[in-house]
């Protein structure tokens, strides 16, 4: 049973890391004590909803287990953390994708040293113990990667603007792919091939790069729109300046004509000998 205890302790570490990750990305809704208590409740629910079925049951549905765990996580996010639902879902998807890649990497590393066995998780399996131990540093790295990606996206106008749901949809493909790979992994004894794992990594990296490209495109559109607006304002100012200059020139011409008219009157009066009367 020490493998079960080890897994429970691992989930305790996950509960702490999940709490810190969501506090940094989303912001907690309640005090630190309440948030820590909620993380402990999540730890218990996570262990109870997965470990007895994975280790002790003769037959189980990985899809049902993952649905239950996703439901628990969503409730946990909605109740105890702030920010919009789209951002909560995005933070969850980034973390799930990063942890999934870490899990499959640990399976690949462990499979190079130990035999897979009859099933993926067995209480007395050396494969299980080594896989859990290898996964710990990879899981910590996964939390760090997810947090750094979140910081990158937070500076993106896509996350700040009205395209948050598109940011959520992009990691979904990787999560569903890893969901399928998890089911395959639990039903057959073959290890995940390196090309499949490399494809998951590349697809996840492509999502992040797509975010960057889209954000740069939107920033370029924003700059172009500002330039168009400035050009329009310049044209309006130029038109106003041309009208004012025309008005000034017309006034100057009228003043000049009026002065000429006065001079003509004075000359006419002087010619007729009526200078004093004309004045």
Handedness of CA 161, 148, 101, 67 (dihedral sign): negative
DSSP H or E segment with residue 176: helix 164-187
Name the burial class of residue 248, with classes exposed (0-12), middle (13-18) and buried (19+) by CB atoms within 10 angstroms of its CB.
exposed
42 falls in which pLDDT band (50, 70, 90)? very high
Whether pTM exceeds 0.85: no
d(CA 43, CA 13): 9
Which residue has tokens 């049973």?
1
Instruction: Return d(Cα 134, Cα 257) in angstroms, integer.
Output: 97
> What does the block give as tokens for 30?
């309640």
Q: What is the pLDDT of residues 95-134, one digit of tens each?
A: 887 887 788 788 778 877 877 665 556 777 788 888 888 8
What is the DSSP secondary-structure string of 191-251? PPPHHHHHHHHHHHHHHHHHHHHHHHHHHHHHHHHHHHHHHHHHHHHHHHHHHHHHHHHHH
Strand, helix or coil at 29? coil
Q: Coil, strand or helix: which one is 279?
A: coil
- Model confidence over 224-252: pLDDT tens digits? 888 888 888 888 888 888 888 888 888 88
Of the two residues 180 and 77, the one the predictor is more confident about is: 77
**158 confidence band (pLDDT: 50, 70, 90):** low
């Amino acid at each position: 049973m020490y493998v079960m205890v080890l897994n429970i302790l691992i989930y305790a570490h996950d509960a702490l890391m999940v709490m810190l990750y969501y506090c940094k990305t989303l912001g907690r809704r309640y005090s630190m004590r309440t948030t820590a208590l909620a993380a402990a409740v999540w730890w218990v629910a996570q262990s109870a909803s997965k470990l007895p079925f994975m280790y002790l049951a003769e037959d189980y549905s990985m899809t049902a287990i993952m649905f239950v765990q996703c439901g628990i996580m969503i409730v946990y996010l909605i109740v105890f953390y702030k920010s919009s639902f789209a951002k909560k879902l995005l933070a969850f998807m980034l973390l799930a994708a990063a942890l999934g890649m870490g899990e499959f990497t640990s399976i690949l590393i462990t499979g190079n040293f130990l035999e897979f066995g009859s099933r993926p998780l067995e209480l007395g399996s050396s494969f299980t113990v080594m896989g859990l131990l290898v996964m710990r540093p990879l899981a910590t790295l996964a939390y760090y990667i997810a947090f750094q990606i979140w910081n990158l996206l937070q500076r993106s106008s896509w996350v700040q603007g009205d395209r948050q749901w598109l940011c959520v949809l992009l990691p979904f493909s990787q999560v569903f792919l890893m969901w399928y790979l998890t089911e395959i992994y639990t039903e057959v004894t073959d290890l995940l091939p390196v090309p499949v794992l490399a494809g998951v990594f590349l697809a996840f990296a492509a999502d992040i790069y797509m975010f960057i490209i889209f954000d740069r495109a939107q920033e370029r559109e924003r700059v172009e729109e500002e330039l168009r607006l400035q050009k329009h304002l310049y044209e309006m100012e130029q038109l106003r300046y041309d009208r004012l200059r025309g008005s000034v020139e017309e006034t100057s011409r009228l003043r000049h004509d009026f002065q000429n008219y006065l001079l003509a009157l004075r000359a006419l009066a002087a010619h007729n000998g009526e200078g004093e009367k004309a004045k």
